[in-house]
Each structure stands twice: as structure tokens, then as C-alpha cells.
Chain A
């Protein structure tokens, strides 16, 4: 079984899952996904910056109806969680959540980065995207 990332330049899986952001050399602001310019100070001096893999849930919702294209999830729609996770001192990242159970989600809950299968390509390869999984208990 082969797998490939849903996009280049967004995350890596080696040696552990990490998200690629940009850090402005002038004002230190961290931006995800990585982009060419700094949205805060407008300079172009942005360098690669790998984000820490853990943070806390900043907000969340459950996607309960099947999105239209360009969504490429499983043929039979399964509700999924979506959230923003604050990576302390860095930035706040939006992503899929590994649970769609509201009882498992609360603002402030510790979350960890992981990779999940988004869909299966025509050639049978798993197309991977990043997601956040709850950790710790209430």
C-alpha cells in the first residue's frame, strides 16, 4: 500500500508528523501555511519554520453535512470534527480532528498532531492529510 501527502510543503511525516510554517526574520511572526511575505510587517524575509506537534484546542465544530466539491472524503459521508489548535507562542492552526464526538471536545483540551487518510486516489494510494487528536482527559 502506497501513500502520498495531499499537498507538498504543508507537512512532513518523517521522523514524526510536523507542520511547515513560515517565520518572519524581522518581526518573528509565525504564519501557517508557509507563505512568501509577512502579514504583520509586510517584509519578504520569511524562512521555513517547523511547528511543534502539540497544543490546545482554541475552538471547534462538527461538520455534519457532506461538503460539495472540491471535498474528497470517503464516498459514504462521515461527519468529522474541525478545530483550531493553539500552538503556544507560535500560531493557531486549523485542521481536521480525529473525533466527531462533542463530548470529547472542549476549548483548552490538549491536542496532538497526527496524519490521517483523507481519501484513496485512483491508483489505490492513500492520500494523507494532517489532523489533531485529543490527548489528556477532562
Chain B
């Protein structure tokens, strides 16, 4: 048995007057309409939000049908966790049709996590170390030093994100910026300038998933979930909010999640026609290209400089503009990536459609406190 996506819905990302929950209801309604099913046919739901309340409260708007609804809050992999649980529920026989939804609404500015939520002493925050931005900056600082990644390459990643976002009506940032403008913007955390970062934002995404047999009754274009896997950090990984690291270094949970996903799907990175990779900032996209197996360490310099990760390149990456152009509503981000891949595999991505009728696509989310979820979708 396998699981397919038959409906997708989104509330545009950015800054809006609606609450997170209201945006979630819009996304669910659109996904149901897209699938041609009604809310009372949905047997279970998993809803993710980090900072915008409990998603199960949406049932008061959507209908009090008595379905099984579980709230998910799992750091930056909240959306990835929700779809993981949704797929597992169908594979376990808990239902034939389910909804996976994620939304969020964060205040402007950098995230300010509390040390106690991460089992850290208050001193860690009081002394100015409790910033995700520092981690991402220091990870790419060392990576760039070891593997020869240039400032130009970091800027080109962001330039591509804004160029793709300009082709996406649901994106937050839709104005293209040049490589020079990105390099000349204020340095935020060395080596990353202002326009190389994503910003906390708002948005909502919902998916209707179901058993394959049901999917074939509902649509002629089901998108099959080849595999979805979630992993947390192992000893030796380098993570957000780490006062200390072991001298013995290991791999990131992104490496583990990607490997497990490809293995379960019975395919490899070389079989993917496009990928959505966590781009909290430009360096993250560069490093995640290698961590998820799409290239070797250091090869990104050539891939990016040659335009191979652009739409029309050998491996288009973050075709919807990624986190950099869409912002980061934590609960929704992982599902935004899946939404984009469904559009691309259906051939419905409009001006940003990847040419050549893509057949297989990959998603990867990563974040605090050392968690990653990946999917392989096929048509």
C-alpha cells in the first residue's frame, strides 16, 4: 500500500491581517476543494503550529465531525512531522482520507527562543548566545572556509530565491534583487548579509492525503508519496543552541533523514528532477545540497555559479523561492515545499514550471533543535 496527495491548498505567505488559525482554515478549504472531498469525509488530521495556537481549534470553523485531530509541535520540522504522522496513520490503517495542515504567525524580527525550552541555563540567553542566526552563520563560515564557497555563491543563492519568488503569487518577497544588491546589503551575522536570510512570517498549507486506491477514484493526477522520514540529531552533529560540541564530529540529521527517505523510496538523489531544500539562509541551501546527497562538499560552488540549481538547470532547487522569498512560518514551511512539488509534478506551476515534465521531487526541512524531515514524491 502507498499514500498519495490528492488535494493541496495554501494561504499566501507574508504578512496578513488574519490569525494563523484563519489562514489554516483557508488552506484546508482550498485543499478539500482541490481534492473534491468534503470535510465530513476526512477521518483524521494532523495540524502543526509553533506559535499560533492549537490547530485542532480549526474544527469549530471546518465542522465538528468528531474526527481524530492531533496537534503537532516539533520545532522547524513541525510541517514535516505532520506529514510523516499522516502517512503513518494511513499505512497503519487508521483511515483512508486525512488532512495534514500547518500554519504559523510569528512576530517580526529574529526568533527569540527561551533557554529553558531547550534545557539550557538562563545564562545562555542572557549572555547573547540564544540566536539561531549565530548558528547558521557559524556553520556556513566554517563550511565555506573548508570547502571553498565564495560570497558570490551565497549571493547567487539568494538572487535565485528572489527571482523564483517573483514568479510565485503566493510568495512574500516578489521583487528580484541582483547579486550586487544582496552583497551590498548590511552584514547581519558574518558572512551573511541581510538579503541572504529568510524572515519569520506567516502562512498556511494543507494537503489531503489518502490510500492509493481511494486516490485513483478521486483524481487522474494523484501524486504518490514515495517515502517520508523524520530524524533527530545523533552524537557529533552541529546544531542550533549548542554551548558545546564534541571533539568527535558526526553528520547532521539532514544526512540521516535524506538517506533514510531515499532508501525507503528505492531511489537516489540522481533520480530527482527538482528539490526543495531548507534555506533558512543562503548558506543552508548550499550545505544541504551536500548533506542530502545531491553533490559532494565543495561542488556547490560550480553548481551555483553555473546556474544548475535554477529553474531550467540540471537540478532546480527551491523553485517557489524557498524560505528566503516566502519567509518562515515554522508550522507551514515543510508543507509549502510539498505543495510546490505537487504543483511541479502535476505540471501546474505556471511561469516557474520546471521544464521536461518532472517525475520525481524531493523535500527537506531542517531546524531546531536538530531535526530533519524529507520526502520523495513521484507521479
Name B196-250 residues within 8 Å CB distance of A: 235, 242-248
* B304 vs chain A, min Cβ distance (A): 21
* B319 vs chain A, min Cβ distance (A): 29
Do B243 and A39 touch (CB < 8 A)?
A: no
| A68-B127 contact given A83-B138, A92-B244, CB 8 Å threshold | no
Given A29, A63, A72, A93, which contacts B131 in the complex, CB threshold below 8 Å? A63
Residues on the B chain within 8 Å of A120, using CB: none
Q: Mark A28-67, 1 if CB is under 8 A from B, else 0.
A: 0111110000011000000000000000001111111101
Is A118 positioned at the interface, with any CB of B under 8 Å from its CB? Answer: yes
Given B122, B126, B141, which contacts A60 in the complex, CB threshold below 8 Å? B141
* A35 vs chain B, min Cβ distance (A): 9
Residues on the A chain within 8 Å of B244, using CB: 21, 31-33, 91-94
Residues on the B chain within 8 Å of A73, using CB: 128
Given B114, B123, B139, B235, which contacts A10 in the complex, CB threshold below 8 Å? B123
C-alpha spacing A83/B138, complex, angstroms: 7
Given A40, A67, A92, A95, which contacts B245 in the complex, CB threshold below 8 Å? A92
Is A1 positioned at the interface, with any CB of B under 8 Å from its CB? Answer: no
* B256 vs chain A, min Cβ distance (A): 16
Name A6-35 residues within 8 Å CB distance of B: 6-7, 10, 21, 29-33
C-alpha spacing A7/B186, complex, angstroms: 34
C-alpha spacing A87/B215, complex, angstroms: 56
Residues on the B chain within 8 Å of A114, using CB: none
Do A90 and B243 touch (CB < 8 A)?
A: no
C-alpha spacing A117/B188, complex, angstroms: 24
Query: How many Cβ-Cβ contacts under 8 Å join chain A to chain B?
Result: 125
Do B138 and A61 touch (CB < 8 A)?
A: yes
| A67-B247 contact given A6-B123, A84-B138, CB 8 Å threshold | no
Do A62 and B127 touch (CB < 8 A)?
A: no
Residues on the A chain within 8 Å of B189, using CB: 61-64
Do B242 and A94 touch (CB < 8 A)?
A: yes
Most buried by B among A58, A64, A82: A82
Residues on the B chain within 8 Å of A39, using CB: 235, 246
Most buried by B among A33, A68, A86, A127: A68
C-alpha spacing A129/B129, complex, angstroms: 12
Is A124 positioned at the interface, with any CB of B under 8 Å from its CB? Answer: no
Is B187 positioned at the interface, with any CB of A under 8 Å from its CB? Answer: yes
Is A125 positioned at the interface, with any CB of B under 8 Å from its CB? Answer: no
Residues on the A chain within 8 Å of B109, using CB: 68
Is B142 positioned at the interface, with any CB of A under 8 Å from its CB? Answer: yes
19 contacts between A and B (CB under 8 A): A10-B121, A39-B235, A40-B235, A58-B142, A59-B139, A60-B141, A60-B190, A61-B134, A62-B190, A64-B190, A69-B125, A70-B112, A71-B130, A72-B126, A88-B247, A91-B246, A92-B244, A94-B244, A129-B123
Interface residues of B (CB under 8 A from A): 109-110, 112, 114-115, 121-123, 125-131, 134, 137-139, 141-142, 145, 186-191, 235, 242-248
